[in-house]
Structure 1
Amino acid sequence: MARRNPFDDIEEFFDRLNSQFEGQGGFDQEAFGMGGTSRMSIDLADRDGEFVVTADAPGFGKEEIDVRVTGRRLTIEAERTESSEDESETYLRSERRSESLHRTVQLPEPVEEEDVSATYKNGVLTITLPKQDPETGGKSIEIE
């Protein structure tokens, strides 16, 4: 039996807390010094021999997105920083904006990590995760 990750409970707690504030205009994380991290919207589809995850990440470049698969956990992170400067004779104005998205998904079944692929087009990230064949999955242990 697999052990449950205690950090999943913490993440679930913050997701519920955030959803409670959504009806009241949202929880302004930046006002509390928590940065501009937002939860990424995803779809997880089970298509025969693979899972397909579709995630919205508008405005990011593909080099700003990191996708990782570890065991049965898929993690997607996107981060970007923008800055602009406006100079005139009497003042200098410099504005910076940082935005990040993060999402971790527990997959229902093991996947072939080496065969995972991802595409990014028009702000939509599509990740294809081939399921691990139950007959060949895992590692065979030789008995001495």
Structure 2
Amino acid sequence: MSLVRWEPFREMEALQREMNRLFDAFSPTTPLEGRGDGLTFIPAAEMTETPEAIQLKLEVPGLEPKDLEVEVEADSVTIKGERKSETKTEENGVTRTEFRYGSFHRVIPLPSRIENTNVTAEYKDGILNLTLPKVPEERNKVVKVNIG
């Protein structure tokens, strides 16, 4: 049996690396423009697929349609936007102002190829609904599975 020198600072460095990795996993990586603090807004997305189309629903509350930019490729959707929200209330001589600014950029890969020239979009109550029709080859695609 050999003796191994114990170095407590090496263990502290390993613990610090693990803690940093843990916090990095839960924090957004794209900083707001002009700021280096790593804070950003990432809209929640829900995708459903039918034989004819892919339905993509994004939660973007507080944004106007003019604040959103949607780019559709055959195999992915890119959504960009900027949130500018400010409220100001005055009560008993006290003014209270709250504001939130920030931009986001999200690329969502699609499970099958789509006709990006026939995409329809609807925006209502902070929800963006995209209907992405599949290319005809994807609609009629049947795969035969050999058994044994």
TM-score bucket (shorter structure): 0.5 to 0.7
Cα distance in 1 for partners of 2:26, 2:87 equals 31
Alignment TM-score, normalising by the size of structure 1 = 0.61
What is the Cα deviation at residue 81 of structure 1?
3.0
Aligned length: 109
CA RMSD of aligned residues (A): 3.3
* Deviation by residue 1:39-59 (Cα, 9 ceiling, x = unmatched): 211011002200000000000
What is the Cα deviation at residue 102 of structure 1?
2.6
Percent identical pairs in the alignment equals 31
Alignment TM-score, normalising by the size of structure 2 = 0.59
* Cα contact 2:87–2:99 (8 A) shared by 1: yes
Q: Which runs of 5+ in 2 are unaligned?
A: 1-20, 89-96, 139-148
Q: More deviation in 118-127 or 38-47?
A: 38-47
**Correspondent of 1:130 among 119, 130, 133:** 133
* Cα contact 2:62–2:85 (8 A) shared by 1: no
- Closer, same or farther: CA 49–103 of 1 in aligned 2, 3 Å: same
Structure 1 segments of 4+ aligned residues over 6 angstroms from their partners: 16-19
Cα distance in 1 for partners of 2:22, 2:80 equals 21
Q: Which runs of 5+ in 1 are unaligned?
A: 1-15, 86-93, 136-144
Aligned match of 1:139? none
What is the Cα deviation at residue 20 of structure 1?
3.1
Larger-Rg structure: 2
2:55 is the counterpart of 1:38 = no
Q: More deviation in 118-127 or 33-42?
A: 33-42
* Deviation by residue 1:122-143 (Cα, 9 ceiling, x = unmatched): 00000000000118xxxxxxxx
